[in-house]
Amino acid sequence: MEEKQLIDQFGPLEFFSELHPLFVHFPVGLFSIVVVFAFLPKSKNRDYQLAIQYLLGIGAFFSLLSCISGYFLAESQNKQSAIFTSHQWLGIATFILFSTAFFYPKWQKISIGLGGIVLLFTLYFGTVLTHGSFLKWKEKVVQQINEIISKPVETKDKDAVKKIVSLPDTPLKVEEQASYAAVTEPMIKELKSQGIIAQVMDPTTQQLFINFVNVKQVEPTMFEVLYPIKDQIAGFRITNLVLNQEAMRSLFGFKNVEILQLSNAHLTDELVGLILQLPKLQQLNLYGNPITDQTAMALHNVFSLKKLYVWQTNISPLALSELQKARPQLQIEGGSQLLTKPDSLKK
């Protein structure tokens, strides 16, 4: 019983995913030392071999934790791109190669050599994902894609263009989508200086997901900086921060928002009520907020909502049951399914 309460308290998957930056630095450092040790002239020395084995074992363990936590972090932050996929599979390959060196000493040198090369590429893609390096290159590629898409198609079928550019699992229906310009480099730098990360959800439309991951305190000026691009913002992640009335009123100004992740934000029923009228809101994460049955009653009329996360709130099981009866198509996560990702961005 105590174990279940502990899991509920921390929100296991969200808490574990946010440890990815901590886990990932251990294998990087340890494997780098292993690569150096393995190719030293005295690498066959017994002491060197023992040190290499210890480093490989510890590094492989933290590498596995990095892979698992990275997967859940990607799910929670909507990192679904070619860069992320490359980073993900290279990370798994790094774990396999160095684990092979640990379990099969006769293949140690070649596994460590290949592992070192793969590790460099893994770090490269991880850097691009985390720090937004090579932005100009990425913008150029997006611009070329937009130019190709925008070229007129010679056809008598008026609906043919929609059929050609239709993509599965996009945030909005094709006929409702609007294309926006890529966010400028000065804007990216300004957001980063305040601890805000802007992630592209859809390269075709340049829809953005805004993550306050490095913000220590939410200020009204942060939303003012985002207003020039408010129409292309489809989601916010503001967790473990205090959101006051002014901040919640600012959020209401972003009319195209579909996803709001506001866990542990000290929200009351009155504050939540300020954003429930967002016309396109589909996912709402209120995990860890002191909201009550009053919010559950208000949610009866939010017909656009598809997923609701209300772990560790003061909403009663009875109120959730009544909400489910009134809105049978609404997916509600109230803490009974412990392995459901509380910040999933999947539609």
Tokens 């990360």, located at residue: 197
Q: Which of 103, 131, 159 is the last residue of a domain?
A: 131
Question: What are the C-alpha distances in Å from 119 to residues 28, 104, 290, 337?
Answer: 8, 19, 44, 36
Across residues 257-280, what is the average pLDDT?
A: 93
Q: What is the pLDDT of residue 25?
A: 81
Residue 65 belongs to what domain range? 2-131
Q: What predicted TM-score, i.e. pTM, was given to this entire model?
A: 0.50
Asked whether residue 120 is assigned to any structural domain, the reply reads yes
Across residues 303-317, what is the average pLDDT?
A: 92
- Statement: residue 166 has pLDDT above 50: no
- Statement: residue 161 has pLDDT above 90: no
Q: For residue 301, with 0-12 CB atoms within 10 Å meaning exposed, 13-18 middle and 19 or more buried, which class applies?
A: exposed
Answer with the residue of higher pLDDT: 136 or 30: 30
Answer with the residue of higher pLDDT: 95 or 127: 95
Same-domain check for residues 107 and 181? no
Answer positive or negative: Cα dihedral of 8, 26, 100, 104: negative
Across residues 151-180, what is the average pLDDT?
A: 46
Asked whether residue 76 is assigned to any structural domain, the reply reads yes
- Statement: residue 76 has pLDDT above 50: yes
Round the average pLDDT of the chain to a whole number and report it. 77
Note the pLDDT tens digit of each residue in 115-128. Answer: 889 888 887 777 76
Q: Which of 72, 106, 131 is the last residue of a domain?
A: 131
In terms of average pLDDT, the best of 1-10, 43-52, 211-220, 283-292 is: 283-292
Across residues 167-192, what is the average pLDDT?
A: 65
216, 195 contact by CB (below 8 A): yes
Asked whether residue 141 is assigned to any structural domain, the reply reads no
Tokens 């019983």, located at residue: 1
Same-domain check for residues 197 and 311? yes
Question: Residues 195-201: contacts with CB within 8 Å, 24+ apart?
Answer: 196/222, 196/225, 196/226, 197/132, 198/229, 199/77, 199/78, 199/79, 200/81, 200/142, 201/78, 201/171, 201/234, 201/235
Same-domain check for residues 190 and 72? no
Same-domain check for residues 93 and 193? no
Asked whether residue 137 is assigned to any structural domain, the reply reads no
Same-domain check for residues 242 and 324? yes
Same-domain check for residues 219 and 118? no
List of residues 6+ apart from 24 with CB closer than 8 A: 62, 66, 70, 126
- Statement: residue 270 has pLDDT above 90: yes
Same-domain check for residues 101 and 47? yes
Note the pLDDT tens digit of each residue in 324-339. Answer: 999 999 999 876 543 3
Across residues 55-64, what is the average pLDDT?
A: 86
Same-domain check for residues 111 and 37? yes
Question: What are the C-alpha distances in Å from 125 to residues 120, 129, 205, 286?
Answer: 9, 6, 23, 32
Q: What is the pLDDT of residue 148?
A: 55
Answer with the residue of higher pLDDT: 316 or 133: 316
Note the pLDDT tens digit of each residue in 9-55. Answer: 445 555 666 677 777 887 888 888 888 888 877 667 777 778 888 88
Percentage of the residues of the chain whose pLDDT score is greater than 70: 73
Domain count, the chain: 2
